[in-house]
Amino acid sequence: MDVLFYHLTETTLEEALPPLVEKSLERGWRVAIQTGSEERLDALDARLWTYADDSFIPHGTDREPHAPEQPVLITTSSENINGAVIRFLVDGAEPGPLDGYQRAALLFDGHDMMQLEAARSHWKVLKAAGHAVTYWQQGPDRRWMKKN
């Protein structure tokens, strides 16, 4: 399985995540977004409805009755409640078992030492487990650049 590490240096998570989720939906994938806290879950829930003037990302949270039917589900749990193909791990969320996913993406704040250290640790563990890991960093133009 592919595991992508996204190192945020030029934007916030709230700016960077919606376009990545949109690309996943364009591929026909169901999406899970695992947050590290209820507060971040609430913030992302609001953001996905309002991030662009001309569109929104259809989604729900794991607190709602129809969570398994959501194309994008925001959760604090490591369970795959909505049968997602890709799992985004944000805000220090700990990766649980990644079996059943085609891809996982860890987004971490490059200005937060705790998130940087956690990402390094996750990289080592996931690479040792045999996952294909890649590292992406934002350039000054906010575009993602794959690094070796």
What does pTM read for this prediction? 0.95
Each residue's pLDDT tens digit, 109-132: 999 999 999 999 999 999 999 999
- Give the separation between CA 51 and CA 65, rounded to whole angstroms: 24
Tell me the domains of the chain and their CATH numbers: 2-147 (3.40.50.10110)
Angle at 112 between CA 93 and CA 139, to 5 degrees: 100
pLDDT value at residue 7: 97
**Number of residues written out for the chain:** 148
Each residue's pLDDT tens digit, 3-31: 999 999 999 999 999 999 999 999 999 99
Neighbours of 146 (CB within 10 A): 9
Each residue's pLDDT tens digit, 24-64: 999 999 999 999 999 999 999 999 998 888 888 999 999 99
> What are the φ and ψ backbone dihedral angles of 72, each rounded to 5 degrees?
-130, 125
Torsion on CA atoms 94, 7, 112, 141, rounded to nearest 10: -150
